[in-house]
Amino acid sequence: MARPPEPAAPRGAAPAGPAALAGEAVAGYLHEHAADFLRSLKLHGESGADTAAADRAARALRRSARRIGGTLHTFRPLLDPDWADGLRTELDWLSTTLAQEHACTSRLTLLLDALARLSGTAPVPHQTTGATATASTTVAGPLPAGAARAGALLERQLTLARTRAHSAALGALGSARFHALADAVTLLSSDLPLRPLAASRADDILLPVAADAERRLLEGAAALPLGRAGHPYNADALVPLLAEPGPASGEEAQDAPWHRVRRLLRLHRYALEVLEPLRPGGTPPALTRAGLLLDRHRDAAEAAGAAAVAARTPRIAPATAYALGILHADQRHEVEAARFAFQEVWPGSLAVRTRTP
Amino acid sequence: MARPPEPAAPRGAAPAGPAALAGEAVAGYLHEHAADFLRSLKLHGESGADTAAADRAARALRRSARRIGGTLHTFRPLLDPDWADGLRTELDWLSTTLAQEHACTSRLTLLLDALARLSGTAPVPHQTTGATATASTTVAGPLPAGAARAGALLERQLTLARTRAHSAALGALGSARFHALADAVTLLSSDLPLRPLAASRADDILLPVAADAERRLLEGAAALPLGRAGHPYNADALVPLLAEPGPASGEEAQDAPWHRVRRLLRLHRYALEVLEPLRPGGTPPALTRAGLLLDRHRDAAEAAGAAAVAARTPRIAPATAYALGILHADQRHEVEAARFAFQEVWPGSLAVRTRTP
């Protein structure tokens, strides 16, 4: 009975109304997601050998952890700051740890699909930029040798990483650190450490605080090279693809501001969810779409990185390395495509600004 | 004293005017380019050890050969068809043979520039799609190992191909076949085998014939997947990049209609040059731009092919193959970018239609 991963913003059941106190609105949202957290934890414990159920429960746990952590971050002015920061650190640790296994699975799927597409053995998917033409005709059949070997190498490496991530997630869920975190989430419902400010009218406090989160998002997006991203085929995402790998490689440096905006967008979305009882309307579709495009940007960037790592495996065949080079460049173009699509949808997202003063 | 490779359409000196006979207009154009052909041949013979002068003369020879051959093709209804077809075949042979050396040089330059760009050691060039943003900051320095080895391999292979092409061009220019061709071009000025139709008024005959050439171009362009090309990052040009190479590979099959339009556009441009004395105005800028984009499409497609061939060299290092894979994908994206830019400029080119009834 796990919830779907990203349903519309919760509404209706929240205890806060237009005339409510600020603390009540935040507490209502936190209570709701604390309850979800504990329910998911229980489902995870009961899932046993049902890996699909365990996976759903882990996703729901992450979903609640992200929302509680994001709310502690955005609405920190209403909360005991030391308590909020401490709990948020633990929630970040949990959701990061739990995310790895799923990330490995979806990265492998993305890369194997791309290999099939590049080999002409799978149809070209419809593009998110709105292509209406039919996909190219394709020949079903086995992958060519280089692509098949590249796929097998990626499968080995990412399956190993996934197994490790699975063990790490199980270890985390059984750890004393996690039990302390679960206790803190349980206490959150009965014992939320609010500051005096939280006793003000919700409208007077929550709207400005949420507007701050929105402002940080708008500033982050304004700092992105959107003008450049609006010129298709600018090849920015491919530079410097062939540079020596390093801790501060060109790819990571150029991707970082986009990843940052992805996180800011999520925080803004959660803040809108907290405001929902005061300002009903759900998440603006343009914001959802922008968020999905930044997810796609992140996924393609990480898939490209996995192809680059695989290409540095010692003693691989040249045909394998060649296929990985094509795959790496392809995924970097997906990164560029996501940036292009984001800048196309972004001005539409700005309309959300009118929802907060 | 070689002419620049592609000056504006000749005008003024042509013997034909609005009331001229059709045959006179065609003869005037052919005479002018036959004279250019023979002058370039003389310059080539005199160039001796001056390779730059020889190169300029060879380009001018090709330029004249293409224009004479194109005119024989388009205005064939006015000419003895057997004679026109025979001479055109020989002119095609010559210009194809002479083009190879230059093609190898520019292909190598394109690929080495792309390697430097992909390695972050050369600035990103301004895009033809009109990007105004400044280029990414880059670090000057030596190429990373894989890129350097890929560059060295491409340099060896393309330099060898260029040397062979140079010998073939010299051999062709010294052959009996070429001397017969030069004789035929010389005779063209004094002894053009016109059909009775050529004695009609120029307006009545040349405009419909040129309109046919334009129609063939428009039909060729209409058959291109322009709607699809208008969706950036559709990734069509990358499919099926990893398929086994073969005589009818996916890349060649999807590029062929674009190459065909490139040739049809050239024929249309030459037909407009023939009409220039009757309908002055020069080549429409949109047509020139569309032609340059199709040149870029062809060059990128051939550069991608050269990278793929180099990647199949036995016993290369995996890092070299990886760099060649990235380079191949990069050039296929250039192919896609050229298609995108072409569909953006193409409706503007249609305005030329008004110039012929």
Domain assignment of residue A6, yes or no: no
Q: Check whether the bond before A18 is cis (ω within 30° of 0).
A: no
Q: Are residues B106 and B242 in the same domain?
A: no
Amino acid at A218: L
For residue A303, the Cα-to-chain-centroid distance in whole angstroms is: 14
* B19 confidence band (pLDDT: 50, 70, 90): low
Domain assignment of residue A164, yes or no: yes
Residue B127 touches partner A, C-beta closer than 8 Å: yes
For residue A353, the model assigns a pLDDT of: 45
Residue B126 touches partner A, C-beta closer than 8 Å: no
As for how many domains chain B has, the answer is: 2
Q: Are residues B247 and B181 in the same domain?
A: no
Euclidean distance between CA atoms A43 and A37, whole angstroms: 10
Residue B256 touches partner A, C-beta closer than 8 Å: no
Two tokens at B292?
Answer: 């340059």
Does pLDDT of B91 surpass 90? Answer: yes
Q: Are residues B179 and B251 in the same domain?
A: no
**How many CA atoms, within 13 angstroms, populate the side-chain half-sphere of residue B323?**
29
For residue B13, the model assigns a pLDDT of: 41
Flag if B328 and A326 touch (Cβ within 8 Å): yes
Domain assignment of residue B39, yes or no: yes
Q: Are residues B182 and B220 in the same domain?
A: no
What ipTM, to 2 d.p.? 0.84
Residues of B with Cβ-Cβ distance to A124 under 8 angstroms = 234-236, 239
Which residue of A120, A232, A244 is in closest CB contact with B240?
A120
With a CB-CB cutoff of 8 Å, which residues 158-197 of chain A face chain B? none
Which residue of A129, A236, A325 is in closest CB contact with B325?
A325
Residues of B with Cβ-Cβ distance to A328 under 8 angstroms = 322, 325-326
For residue A161, the model assigns a pLDDT of: 97
Under DSSP, is residue B34 helix (H, G, I), strand (E, B) or coil?
A: helix
Domain assignment of residue B6, yes or no: no
Q: Are residues B98 and B195 in the same domain?
A: yes
In terms of C-beta density within 10 A (0-12 exposed, 13-18 middle, 19 or more buried), how is residue B248 classed? Answer: exposed
For residues B162-183, give the mean pLDDT.
96
Give the CATH number, domain containing residue A210: 1.40.20.10
For residue B245, the model assigns a pLDDT of: 61
What confidence tens digit (pLDDT) does each residue in B293-327 have?
999 999 999 999 999 999 999 999 999 999 999 99
B14 Rama sector, left if φ>0, alpha if ψ -120 to 50, beta otherwise: beta
Euclidean distance between CA atoms B139 and B68, whole angstroms: 48
* B5 confidence band (pLDDT: 50, 70, 90): very low
**CA-based radius of gyration for chain B:** 22
Q: Are residues B264 and B351 in the same domain?
A: yes
Q: Are residues B228 and B184 in the same domain?
A: no
Euclidean distance between CA atoms B257 and A48, whole angstroms: 58
Burial A202-215 (b: 16+ CB within 10 A, else e): bbebbbebbbebbe
Q: Are residues B94 and B190 in the same domain?
A: yes
* B2 confidence band (pLDDT: 50, 70, 90): very low
Which residue of A117, A133, A239 is in closest CB contact with B225?
A133
Residues of A with Cβ-Cβ distance to B326 under 8 angstroms = 238, 241-242, 325-326, 328-329
Contact between B324 and B152 (Cβ < 8 Å): no
Q: Are residues B217 and B350 in the same domain?
A: yes
Distance from CA of A306 to the nearest CA of B (A): 14
Residue A328 touches partner B, C-beta closer than 8 Å: yes
Flag if B321 and A318 touch (Cβ within 8 Å): yes
Distance from CA of B190 to the nearest CA of A (A): 52
Euclidean distance between CA atoms B165 and B156, whole angstroms: 14
Q: Give the residue from chain B lying closest to A315, CA to CA.
A: B318
Contact between A157 and A306 (Cβ < 8 Å): yes
For residue B292, the model assigns a pLDDT of: 97
Does pLDDT of B9 surpass 70? Answer: no
Q: Give the residue from chain A lying closest to B313, CA to CA.
A: A318
A316 Rama sector, left if φ>0, alpha if ψ -120 to 50, beta otherwise: beta
**Which stretches of chain A score pLDDT less than 70?**
1-19, 123-142, 244-249, 348-357
Share of chain B above pLDDT 90, in %: 72
Contact between A8 and A272 (Cβ < 8 Å): no
| Mean pLDDT across chain B | 86
Domain assignment of residue B94, yes or no: yes
Under DSSP, is residue B16 helix (H, G, I), strand (E, B) or coil?
A: coil
Flag if B117 and A228 touch (Cβ within 8 Å): no
Flag if A322 and B325 touch (Cβ within 8 Å): yes
Q: Give the residue from chain B lying closest to A329, CA to CA.
A: B326
Flag if B119 and A325 touch (Cβ within 8 Å): no
Flag if B127 and A227 touch (Cβ within 8 Å): no
For residues B176-190, give the mean pLDDT.
95
* Among A275-284, B101-110, B194-203, the range of highest mean pLDDT: B101-110
Whole-Å CA distances, A327 to A141, A148, B28, B192, B322: 19, 12, 55, 57, 10
Contact between B237 and B336 (Cβ < 8 Å): yes
Residue B320 touches partner A, C-beta closer than 8 Å: yes
Q: Which residue has the tokens 């359409």?
A: B9
Give the CATH number, domain containing residue B114: 1.20.120
Does pLDDT of B156 surpass 70? Answer: yes
Which residue of B115, B228, B328 is in closest CB contact with A131?
B228
Euclidean distance between CA atoms A54 and A45, whole angstroms: 8
Flag if A118 and B321 touch (Cβ within 8 Å): no
What confidence tens digit (pLDDT) does each residue in B333-345 have?
999 999 999 999 9
Domain assignment of residue B249, yes or no: yes
For residue A137, the Cα-to-chain-centroid distance in whole angstroms is: 33
Domain assignment of residue A1, yes or no: no
In terms of C-beta density within 10 A (0-12 exposed, 13-18 middle, 19 or more buried), how is residue B211 classed? Answer: middle
Q: Are residues B116 and B184 in the same domain?
A: yes
Give me the domain span that covers residue B285: 212-357
Share of chain B above pLDDT 70, in %: 84
Domain assignment of residue B28, yes or no: yes
Flag if A234 and B124 touch (Cβ within 8 Å): yes
SS3 content of chain B, % helix, strand, coil (to 5): 70, 0, 25
For residue B10, the model assigns a pLDDT of: 41
Distance from CA of A104 to the nearest CA of B (A): 23
Residue A129 touches partner B, C-beta closer than 8 Å: yes
Residue B228 touches partner A, C-beta closer than 8 Å: yes
Of A5, A13, A186, A155, whose CA–CA distance to A95 is shortest? A5
Last residue of a domain, one of B200, B220, B238: B200
Flag if B330 and A235 touch (Cβ within 8 Å): yes
